[in-house]
Chains A and B, each alone.
Chain A
Amino acid sequence: MFAAVSSATVLGAHGQPVTVEVHVSTGLPAFAIVGLPDEACRESRDRVRAALLSSSLPWPQKRITVNLAPSMQRKGGSSLDLAIALGVLVASGELPQAALAEFGFVGELGLDGTVRRLPGIVPLVGALRELTAVVPRGCEAEANAVTPAWRSARDLAELVAVLRKQLPWPDPPAIACRVPVASRGDMSEVRGQGLARLAVELAAAGGHHLLLVGSPGCGKTMLAERLSGLLPDLDQAEALVATMTHSAAGVTLPPSGLVTRPPFRAPHHTASLVSMVGGGTAAMRPGEVSLASGGVLFLDEMSEFPVSVLDGLRQPLEEGVVRVTRARASVEFPAQFLLVGATNPCPCGLGAAPGACRCEGAVRQRFLRRLSGPLLDRFDLRIHVTAVGSDDLLSSEPAESSASIAQRVQAVRTLALQRGVPSNARLSSSDLDRWATLSPNALAMVRHAIEIGRLSGRGVQRIRRVARTIDDRMGVQGALSEQAVASALAMRIDVAPLVSAA
């Protein structure tokens, strides 16, 4: 007897459809799974058998062969459990094949027959295409984010009864509709910090990577956390990509099932390279850069991150995707994130003010060497955050709120969209020549910066993009104003050791 059941597995952030073929024949009782299953997948043999028996369903004392087609691809995880169990039932004549025809099944089985939830429901359901997805109870919201055609199952016995048409499909629990996600604080709570506030707004409006340098306690983290609140909602396509990635990584999704707000990820500085860019031996899991895709990746204490991790960011920063290649498979994850870094200027933290630092020259150089060169160059905005004065700190007058800033951000983003790019940070050189020409005065200023060695060729492009955002914010059209270029230059400090030679 033969059965075929549709299911799916996750590879990277994408699901791939799998057809579970089950063949039951006479012979010595045996149960074999073929088709490149990994460890967790092969163990489903024991889970399936136990689940069937505890659900008072018969286990055929025959020779059972399960093939996971297409058989060249590796299959990982436990998402095939449910499909294998149903396949065995069909092949042994307990269920009609026709009852399963319009469904695809994903879910892990407990030994007592419950259908357990598992990470990656969104990509899994996505891979089932036009079939009606049957997902574990509790995953309805995630499934609903992809398709309206879904059913949920609590345990195997119930599902078999439904498929035998002995029971109707149970009513699923209500799915929360879009609820506003609690944001991480409001910009009105940030006192003083005129320059830093502007830089955060520009970063959000133009998609410019931002580096905050300042002594401990001056509010770098506070500013970074509020940045994601200024970004506009994700559009439908971005939301789906973000949801897939989050789901594949097993990150808890918002109640509505769809990630609609730009994510904010702040990995600790002990993060490994694999956790950052994605990969791993057992499963290709998306890394922090992909989880932050569409939102903000915040690296606090950036100079404490291992050099290899920081260098690993360079390629995703440039290309917007990260390709992880292993012997078994090669996958591509999204990586369109806004990088926000925060660092002390030196180990003692006081080095920003001339003459205040207590660190040895060599110690400072070692501290900043991790940040030097190509990575630093990718930060369009590099500002020095100073401690807030007591007047500002104690003032009860609230500053401008996030909502009000977000309106300006949205306006600037709209202008960028009219130029054919999602944000000004993505303007290409030809776009710059069209949309961001330099006025004569501004040109003189840029020329001076090049002559004193502050700007490289790449730096000039970045200054122009930031200046475009500044002018967009102020509603200035045409060639870049001198003010915008001066501000852009002022917001691009050198993070070289300040103890320079005479």
Chain B
Amino acid sequence: MSTPGARRRRGFSLGVVVVGLFVVPLGLRAVNSVVRPPDAAPSYIPSIESPRVRGPFDSAAVAALREADNDYILIGDSMAGTRIDPGHLSRLIGGHGAAALFHPGSGPAYWYLTFKNFVVDAGLRPRVVVFFFRDENLTDTLFRVYPSALDRVAGKQEPVLDDILAARARGTFYRLHGAIRRLYQYDQTRAWLEPLLIRAPVAWSAGQRDRKQLLESINNEVFTLEALRPMVAADMAAVSGEALDFDRNLSTSVLPEILRLSKASGIRVAFVRVQRRPTADGPPAQSPALQKYVRALWRYLDSNGAIFHDDWGDPDQPLSVYEDGDHVKKAFRRTYTEIFFRKNPEIFR
């Protein structure tokens, strides 16, 4: 039998461990104040990010767009990238052709910033800007908010996007996440520690001459998209629940802001919902909630003067043209481009 004194000591030791668990990480704040890079600056989306060193805005891309003065600008992620051949589309359209601003792994925040900063604020006036998306992507604001990618298209301050993200990140999980982030400032530590960790093995892996470009070569030559094997299961996650409540999510999405910019600038916008991977028997299954969501989206876009096109159920896009997940085969790219051109007279009128 243990004595009351021993029990007290054991209870005290539990308390010490629990306190240590939550107090020791506060040391990160002290470490940050010493190690923090001098050029760390407040983020353009401070509601979800602490100050950090941001990547450069891609002004060269904007200059190239100004130079090309395209009639059509296409925005989207790899779904559009694997489907649209911009050169072929330009030949089909004639005139000043089309520019593709596709970024793999991007989401609505990236698309909104691209439209705002690369097109509207840059003074471009294409006839139509087309957004490609899947299912509920347009109103899923926190889908793929990757700051390192957003840097390329974000301005110095993005108060509208920040407000939208803040409004979306109001749930218990995000509030807790934000509180922990502000308390420990761990993302500031991560901002300088992670690059150190990733670069450290370079010195042990290659001679002096090859070190400089090693990471770039690994990314651009070893792990290229062409080197990947097809993965049937890739990128197939279907959504359900609250994400499919259009009315609930609309006000905290970038969609109204895209439409506002469109009206203010006089640039017409179109939205193309690409088809997810079909089954052997026909188009991909759609839950009643998803069908309701798509109907509401269509009505909303229509009432705001935007064009909506839905690829779902297109007999010209059977399972056989798909490769991995929702991506289509490279060989189908030209054909899809022609289908897109042929079936969207409203866009290419």
Tell me if chain B binds chain A.
no
| B interface residues with partner A (beta carbon < 8 Å) | none
| A interface residues with partner B (beta carbon < 8 Å) | none
